[in-house]
Structure 1
Amino acid sequence: MERGKELAEESSRSPGGGAGGDSPLSTTPSRYESQKRRDWNTFGQFLKNQRPPVPLSHCNSNHVLEFLRYLDQFGKTKVHLQGCIFYGQPEPPAPCTCPLRQAWGSLDALIGRLRAAYEENGGSQETNPFASGAIRVYLRDVKECQAKARGIPYKKKKKKDSPGKPDDDSSSSMPFS
């Protein structure tokens, strides 16, 4: 169990660098590439530890969701429950018993790395369980929930207008002066 905790903690760390990528002359992988490999190995170990073990070829979005929920127990972000007196307060004045969770940003970065690793390890883009709608919905729900619980204003992005419908401002044919 201690090894599982170590693996989960490694997976929850975000890369410090940018998009990463190795230069052709580089012999050591970038921080991003190292993290992606650790995350991929952690997920593979998670699948092996399932009863019965799940082969990668049978992995689906439900397994990914189980993995994200498993990692939650090793989180470091206080997320107040709805009944907590500090719910919605960005800086509570005292400690409370609400659980620590994985931060949305960490989960989002993790899914991005695993999505890339899946395809780099022979998975097809069409069957990538990390790119499924269920994962996007889960991440959106976590983001909204954590924002509310921590008192951070959260605004949903508005859907873009259909491409065939001109905007009010763009209907003028006059060029800029």
Structure 2
Amino acid sequence: MSSSNKPDQPSSSSNSGHHKQHPLPPQLSRYESQKRRDWNTFLQYLKTLNPPEKTSQFDHTHVLSFLNYLDQFGKTKVHHQACAFFGQPDPPSPCTCPLKQAWGSLDALIGRLRAAYEEHGGGSSDNNPFGNGSIRIYLREVRESQAKARGIPYRKKKKRKKTKNDVVVVKKDFLNSSGS
């Protein structure tokens, strides 16, 4: 009995060509991947707090502190009011004003975290800390301050409602060329 193979395990020579294919999990969309990564990052952040915060016990104040924490990784220059370049969209030279997270990035992040919270058994959207009013106020203030600092006032684009009186203009040349 020179064979060292155990009876319940096939030898490597008898297994060649008969590899079992394990089904691959479905490929996640870019949004789903970002949502999962953002959720895991937030959970890691909660663990770094002193004392660490339990996932089931965090609230909107922890979300706000997370958003402030993320500013250290930002890439958007936000000028202070005392800065010579405050209100200039394209400053001519560098300054010492801080880099922060862009409003659009934070807004999208909160949307993904809000969805992830509900997916992970967080309950109804009424008690979702990512949808708390203070988060919306924070995001509005970030948007307005970044717009002022860059000299580009933010104005929400309003959708124009179509009315009966809207006129469709048809070029006269088009009508003439098709009939001749």
Other structure's SS at 1:140 match: helix
Other structure's SS at 2:94 match: coil
Shift of 1:56: 1.5
- Contact preservation (8 Å) 2:144, 2:153: no
Q: 1:156 to 1:146 in 2, by over 3 A?
A: same
CA deviation profile, 1:8-46 (whole Å, cap 9, x unmatched) = xxxxxxxxxxxxxxxxxx811001100000000000000
Shift of 1:176: 6.4
Question: Aligned AA for 2:147?
Answer: A
Shift of 1:58: 1.0
Shift of 1:57: 1.5
Other structure's SS at 1:81 match: coil
**Which residue pairs with 1:75 in the alignment?**
74
Corresponding position: 1:147 with 2:151: no
Q: 1:157, 1:140 → 2: CA distance?
A: 15
Structure whose alpha-carbon radius of gyration is higher: 2
Shift of 1:157: 8.3
**Which residue pairs with 2:58 in the alignment?**
59
Q: How many residues align?
A: 138
**Which residue pairs with 1:36 in the alignment?**
35
Shift of 1:115: 0.2
**Which residue pairs with 1:107 in the alignment?**
106
Q: 1:31, 1:67 → 2: CA distance?
A: 23
Question: Aligned AA for 1:74?
Answer: F
Q: 1:147, 1:133 → 2: CA distance?
A: 21
Q: 2:104, 2:134 → 1: CA distance?
A: 17
Deviation above 2 Å: which 4+ runs of structure 1?
154-158
**Which residue pairs with 1:89 in the alignment?**
88
Other structure's SS at 1:73 match: helix
CA deviation profile, 1:74-106 (whole Å, cap 9, x unmatched) = 000000011000000000011111000000000
Question: Aligned AA for 1:155?
Answer: R
Q: 2:65, 2:153 → 1: CA distance?
A: 28
Q: 1:41, 1:150 → 2: CA distance?
A: 32
